[in-house]
Structure 1
Amino acid sequence: MLPRPLRTTFALLAAATLTIAGASACGTADAVESGSAGDELAGSKLVVGSKDFTENIVLGKIAVQLLKAHGADVVDKTNLGGTAPNRKALEAGEIDLYWEYSGTGWIEHLKKTEPIQDSAGQFKATADEDLSKNKIRWIGPTPLNNTYALAIRSEKAEELGVKTLSDVAKLAETKPEAVTLCIETEFSTRDDGLPGLSKAYGMKIPKNQVSLLDTGVVYTETDKGQVCDFGEVFTTDGRIAALGLTVLEDDKKFFPIYNAAVTVRQDTYDKNPALEKVLQPVIAKLDDATMQRLNARVDVEGEEPAKVSADWLNEQGLLGSAGDA
Structure 2
Amino acid sequence: MKRRLLLPALALAAAGVLALSGCSGASGGGAASGSSDELKGLTGDIGAKDFSEQFILAYITAGILNAHGADVKANTKLVGSANVRQALETDQFLGYWEYTGTSWVTYNGNTTPVKGEQAQFDATKKADAAKGIAWLDPAPLNNTYAFAIRKSKADELGVKTLSDVAKLPAADQTFCIESEFSTRDDGWPGLKAAYGITVPDSNVALLDTGVIYTATQKGDDCNFGEVFQTDGRIKALDLVVMQDDKQFFPVYQGAFTLKQATLDKYPAIADVIAKVAPLLTTEQMQTLNAMVDVDGEDPQDVANTWLKDQGLI
TM category, shorter: 0.7 to 0.9
User: How far apart are the structure 1 equivalents of 2:249 and 2:188?
Assistant: 10
User: How far apart are the structure 1 equivalents of 2:288 and 2:77?
Assistant: 17
Q: Deviations over 1:258-290 (max 9, x none)?
A: 221011122332333221122111112222332
User: How far apart are the structure 2 equivalents of 1:157 and 1:277?
Assistant: 43
User: How far apart are the structure 2 equivalents of 1:287 and 1:112?
Assistant: 26
Q: Aligned residue for 1:40?
A: 38
User: How far apart are the structure 1 equivalents of 2:77 and 2:237?
Assistant: 25
SS of equivalent to 2:114: coil
Q: Deviations over 1:163-214 (max 9, x none)?
A: 322333344xx52x64443334553444332233233223345556331303
Aligned equivalent of 1:219, options 210, 213, 236: 213
Higher relative contact order (CA 8 A, sep 6+): 1
Q: Which runs of 5+ in 1 are unaligned?
A: 1-24, 320-325
TM-aligned CA deviation for residue 27 of structure 1 = 4.2
Contact 1:44 1:272 survives alignment (8 Å): yes
Percent identity over the alignment is 51
TM (norm. structure 1) is 0.79
- Name the amino acid aligned to 1:63: T
Aligned equivalent of 1:145, options 138, 142, 145: 142
Q: Aligned residue for 1:181?
A: 175
User: How far apart are the structure 2 equivalents of 1:60 and 1:265?
Assistant: 16
Q: Aligned residue for 1:289?
A: 283
Contact 1:35 1:42 survives alignment (8 Å): no
SS of equivalent to 2:60: helix
SS of equivalent to 1:312: helix
Matches within 5 A, 1:166-177: 166-171=163-168, 175=170
Aligned length: 289
Q: Deviations over 1:17-36 (max 9, x none)?
A: xxxxxxxx944535x75354
User: How far apart are the structure 1 equivalents of 2:199 and 2:107?
Assistant: 27
**Alpha-carbon spacing, 1:204–1:58, altered in 2? closer, same or farther (3 Å):** farther
SS of equivalent to 2:73: strand
Matches within 5 A, 1:123-142: 123-132=121-130, 134-142=131-139
More helix by share: 1
Q: Aligned residue for 2:80?
A: 82
Q: Aligned residue for 2:303?
A: 309
Contact 1:108 1:190 survives alignment (8 Å): no
TM-aligned CA deviation for residue 256 of structure 1 = 2.3
- Name the amino acid aligned to 1:51: K
Q: Aligned residue for 2:154?
A: 157
TM (norm. structure 2) is 0.82
Q: Aligned residue for 1:253?
A: 247
- Name the amino acid aligned to 1:78: T
Contact 1:57 1:79 survives alignment (8 Å): no
SS of equivalent to 2:181: helix
**Alpha-carbon spacing, 1:185–1:314, altered in 2? closer, same or farther (3 Å):** farther
TM-aligned CA deviation for residue 126 of structure 1 = 1.2
Q: Which runs of 5+ in 2 are unaligned?
A: 1-22
SS of equivalent to 1:78: coil
Q: Aligned residue for 1:4?
A: none
- Name the amino acid aligned to 2:234: I
- Name the amino acid aligned to 2:246: K
Q: Aligned residue for 1:275?
A: 269
